[in-house]
Amino acid sequence: MNKVMNFDLYKEINDKRLNYKEMEDATVVSYYRNTGCGDGYRFYLKIDESNVVTDASYTTTGCGFGIVALAMSCEAAKGKSLEEIKQLTTEDIESMFEFPDRRKNYPESALQALKKAVSDHESGQGVPPEKRITKAFALKTLKEQGNLREVNLSSVMLEKEDLSNVDFSGANLHNAFLQTSNFSGANFSGANLKGAFFNGSNLENANFRGADLRWTKLTGAKLDGADFTDAIYDIGTRVDPKNISIFDVMKKEGKDIYLKKEEASA
């Protein structure tokens, strides 16, 4: 029988965002997508010459339970060797915070993401330092040139920022974390936004003409006045039911590609 969930600890971890940060000097940066809910996870591990994790952090687009699970996974990883991390179980995670029965998938996914980070380090599949795009880089570039047109911002984190009226046309924002920011009046025409997260952002009057929005999350976003003419979408593009009309002016090629694959395999 499960114990009663510790709501005070749950709130404390979420309020403090325990272990939630971009790590500039990480040994490995690893991406993980929770296929169950579509949330994106990133693990940052600092590993010493003895293959011991000296620091661990994460970022996520997920909910409070995902935040707790990832925070606890980081706690579990610190001070352990890579081989010890490979042996971790969900029981180890839940020894620090026990999840309700209907939320057991969160520690499972967090642990998979942590172990993928270890695997990425060992196989060299993590994001190389020269390709790690940080918020600091994006904001510096914007200050220097006044826009972010055609800039490679793949997987950048621009959360809770005021970027209203900024020109992102043609930029590469693949897998970018863009939630809870103000992009009102911004220009994303022709931008690569595949797999990007705009959850809870203000996108009023923004221009998405011709942008690639496959697997993009727009749930909770304000879309009044936004122009999605000829933007591409697929079955992974998510919007609130009240905004589903945006698909009327978008291109369906992305969705058709998936349908054709399903027909071919039938």
> Coil, helix or strand for 43?
strand
CA 177 to CA 137: how far, in whole Å? 14
b or e along 147-162 (b: 16 or more beta carbons within 10 Å of the residue's beta carbon)?
bbbebbbbbbbbbebe
Give me the pLDDT at residue 266, please. Answer: 39
Q: Which of 122-126, 158-162, 225-229, 259-263 has the highest mean pLDDT?
A: 225-229
pTM: 0.72
Please state the domain extents for the chain.
7-123, 133-266
Alpha-carbon gap, residue 164 to 85, rounded angstroms:
42
Q: Do domains 7-123 and 133-266 have the same CATH topology?
A: no
Torsion of CA 152, 157, 161, 164, to 10 degrees: 30
Amino acid letter, residue 81: S
Q: What is the pLDDT of residue 3?
A: 58
Q: Quickly state the pLDDT bin for 236 (edges 50, 70, 90).
A: confident
Residues 15-45: b if buried by 16+ CB within 10 A, e if exposed:
eeebbbebbeebbbbbbbbbeeebbbbbbbb
Indicate the average pLDDT of the chain: 89
Residue 200 has pLDDT above 60, yes or no: yes
Give the CATH number of domain 133-266: 2.160.20.80
Residue 188 CA to residue 65 CA, distance in Å, equals 32
The radius of gyration computed from the CA coordinates of the chain, to the nearest angstrom, equals 19
Torsion sign, CA atoms 53, 54, 60, 62: positive
| 210 closest CA partner among 255, 253, 158, 148 | 253
Taking domain 7-123, whether its CATH number is 3.40.50.720 is answered by no
pLDDT tens per residue across span 11-59: 999 888 899 988 988 999 998 887 666 678 889 999 999 999 999 999 8
End-to-end alpha-carbon separation of the chain, Å? 43
